A and B are shown apart, each in its own frame.
Chain A
């Protein structure tokens, strides 16, 4: 439980950091090359860390199914959806909706118990907590101009930053 929390916090901090750094790479090299680089390095690092922590299990692939690698294709779906949403709605609104959508779908997956999750229908406590978090995200992100969410500033608050193309359009 505590370890799970700590790992979730670490993952979240790294996602925030990675978004900032990726946006810099994107400005230089564009979206497709950045996506390929990030996934390639992620795979390499996963292999090396797996080797470090578990040793030989990185070489045992008996339980591998043909469709496991295809799950990675969903990552491409993520990139397409995010890029299209940001293009149509602007970064601030798009990112706010994406974050709230993540919370909503997480509740749905838990409620349905998909993919071996322990089935747990949402409680009133949970509903209230989720509304507070969603409200917090919206208050946090949709604030007056010139503030933290100002969209002309590089590296502003956002889940995913503009692509190089978007930046050129704005400039």
Chain B
């Protein structure tokens, strides 16, 4: 039960953050909003890191540079999210982002990208994709 509440809470926080970012982006600029909210989040994460006396950062260089650099994607993710919310509203934006996200992971699994063990595509995945695509078309009608 607690797990379900946490999962629902995650969905709430993620979407609320998106619309709140878009809101302040209209005042201070979209890139400015992307910068300032992530800088705030970074400060919070650093405080937690220090309070936990976490030493994980010493191991960071064990990961490949490409994987380490992926944090920079968030700039484009936040910018895209905000601009899409301005144009499409929250519902359609979230739906499209979720589907694109599933499609990417699906392709990575099916093609074995990034050292992922290749997996066979099965009927449920194809069915799920068709349902989701149909759903987005319905949203737009």
Interface residues of A (CB under 8 A from B): 1, 3-5, 7-22, 24-25, 27-50, 53-54, 57-58, 61, 63-65, 68-78, 80-82, 84-85, 87-89, 93-94, 97-107, 109-110, 114-118, 120, 122, 125-126, 128-144, 147-148, 150, 153-159
Contact = CB atoms under 8 A, between A and B. Distances in A.
A16 to B, nearest CB: 3
Interface of B: 2-4, 6-17, 19-24, 26-29, 31-46, 48-49, 52, 54, 56-60, 62-64, 66-81, 83-106, 108-110, 114-117, 119-122, 124-125, 127-141
B98 A7 contact: no
A89 B10 CA distance: 13
B109 to A, nearest CB: 5
Nearest to B140: A129
Given A8-B81, A154-B117, A1 B88 contact: yes
Nearest to A115: B23
A15 B128 contact: no
A88 B6 contact: yes
17 contacts: A9-B100, A30-B59, A32-B49, A35-B45, A37-B60, A69-B36, A73-B44, A74-B41, A101-B8, A105-B15, A105-B16, A125-B138, A129-B141, A136-B127, A141-B128, A155-B115, A156-B119
A1 B96 CA distance: 13
Contacts of B8: 97, 101
B5 to A, nearest CB: 8
A28 B42 contact: no
A91 B17 CA distance: 22
B97 A8 contact: yes
Q: Kindly name the residue among A8, A45, A137, A140 whose own CB sees the greatest number of chain B CB atoms within 10 A.
A: A8
Contacts of A104: 11
Contact of A130 (B93, B129, B139): B139
